[in-house]
């Protein structure tokens, strides 16, 4: 019963924020242009501040784990390679293939990772997840560009990929936090308090914006594709990778980022990227909607099962 309550307490705040965002949008508290600005504000301001503060206040010596880092990157690359080979055999339309591949391997790690890690482990032990965000986000971005360019018949631009990584606010914030931490820089208490307070805005505001972005459109025409993408994202992918992580000895705060990396919903940014790079934008949007909605249930189940088995 205790593990059930813990699991419930982790996912309920996420669900409430997303549901509130959806409700506010339905009663026209904000419109599409406002929502886009809100998402931009979260991505470029509040999430980077949140990430910087988490890395800045982390004990890097305790949080850094080379084995976890290598496993995370290797697991993503293996999953990507398998999907790149498998999905074209299940879906013949190239514009949909790239979207499905991206929808399965690319998680909303920054948005879901830290809140879940803090809820499960406490802020003092969320360091491994914070450090991985700065590494995994660029890996996701690079592979997403390669995927969408390849399936539309193009050639990925190394220059564009490098520019995207160098200008990503989450990556910049992570690196800044690491540098300040390693340099032993002590910010004035007033500045630290301001950063902490502003960072706390990131998660609820991002989740509210995510809820507001839900659009239940043409489901019937994408039944097969959604079944593949959602099942692969929320069930098969985490099942395989969490099992591998457990077999390699990852436990507690070291297992949490693996759970979120592969069990979190598809990244919201995959939708506009698919639109801009010749993918099936409507399918990409539906994958984001369904994985985001159903992930509340599946993450609850994963946490409960792992708690019951003594791995968390």
CB 262 within 8 A of CB 75: yes
pLDDT value of position 6: 65
CATH of domain 2-308: 1.20.1530.20
Lookup result for tokens 């989450």: 170
* Contacting residues for 201 by C-beta, under 8 A, at least 6 apart: 46, 50
Q: Sorting pLDDT into bands at 50, 70 and 90, what band is 216? A: low
pLDDT value of position 232: 96
pLDDT value of position 217: 61
Cα–Cα nearest to 106, from 222, 213, 13, 232: 232
Residue 32 to residue 212: CA distance in whole angstroms: 9
Q: Which H or E run includes 28?
A: none
CB 148 within 8 A of CB 102: yes
Over residues 81-92, the pLDDT tens digits come to 999 999 999 998
- Domain map (residue ranges) of the chain: 2-308
The predicted model scores a pTM of 0.80
Over residues 236-279, the pLDDT tens digits come to 999 999 999 999 999 888 898 999 999 988 987 788 778 777 88
- For 35, the token pair is 């929502």
Q: Phi and psi (nearest 5°) for 58?
A: -85, 145
Task: Tell me what the mean pLDDT of segment 231-239 comes to.
Answer: 96
Q: Sorting pLDDT into bands at 50, 70 and 90, what band is 220? A: low
Residue 278 to residue 151: CA distance in whole angstroms: 9
Residue 228 to residue 248: CA distance in whole angstroms: 28
Residue 137 to residue 122: CA distance in whole angstroms: 22
Over residues 25-58, the pLDDT tens digits come to 889 888 888 887 887 888 788 878 887 887 787 7
CB 156 within 8 A of CB 145: yes
pLDDT value of position 71: 96
């Amino acid at each position: 019963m205790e593990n059930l309550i813990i699991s419930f307490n982790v996912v309920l705040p996420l669900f409430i924020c997303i549901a509130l965002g959806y409700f506010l949008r339905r009663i026209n508290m904000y419109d599409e242009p406002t929502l886009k600005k809100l998402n931009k504000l979260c991505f470029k301001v509040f999430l980077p501040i949140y990430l910087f503060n988490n890395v800045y206040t982390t004990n890097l010596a305790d949080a850094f784990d080379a084995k976890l880092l290598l496993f995370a990157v290797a697991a993503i690359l293996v999953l990507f390679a398998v999907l790149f080979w498998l999905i074209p055999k299940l879906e013949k339309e190239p514009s949909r293939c790239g979207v499905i591949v991206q929808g399965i391997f690319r998680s909303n790690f920054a948005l879901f990772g830290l809140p879940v890690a803090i809820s499960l482990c406490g802020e003092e032990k969320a360091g491994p997840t914070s450090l991985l965000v700065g590494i995994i986000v660029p890996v996701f971005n690079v592979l997403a560009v390669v995927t969408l360019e390849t399936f539309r018949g193009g050639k990925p631009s190394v220059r564009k990929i490098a520019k995207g990584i160098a200008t990503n606010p989450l990556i910049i914030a992570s690196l800044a936090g690491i540098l300040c931490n390693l340099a032993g820089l002590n910010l004035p208490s007033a500045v630290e308090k301001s950063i902490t307070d502003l960072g706390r805005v990131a998660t609820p505001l991002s989740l509210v914006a995510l809820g507001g972005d839900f659009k239940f459109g043409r489901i019937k025409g994408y039944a097969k594709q959604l079944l593949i993408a959602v099942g692969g994202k929320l069930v098969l992918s985490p099942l395989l990778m969490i099992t591998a992580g457990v077999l390699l000895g990852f436990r507690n705060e070291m297992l949490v980022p693996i759970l979120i990396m592969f069990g979190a919903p598809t990244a919201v940014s995959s939708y506009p990227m698919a639109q801009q790079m010749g993918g099936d934008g409507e399918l990409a949007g539906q994958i984001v909607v369904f994985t985001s909605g159903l992930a509340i249930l599946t993450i609850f189940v994963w946490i409960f099962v792992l708690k019951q088995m003594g791995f968390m």
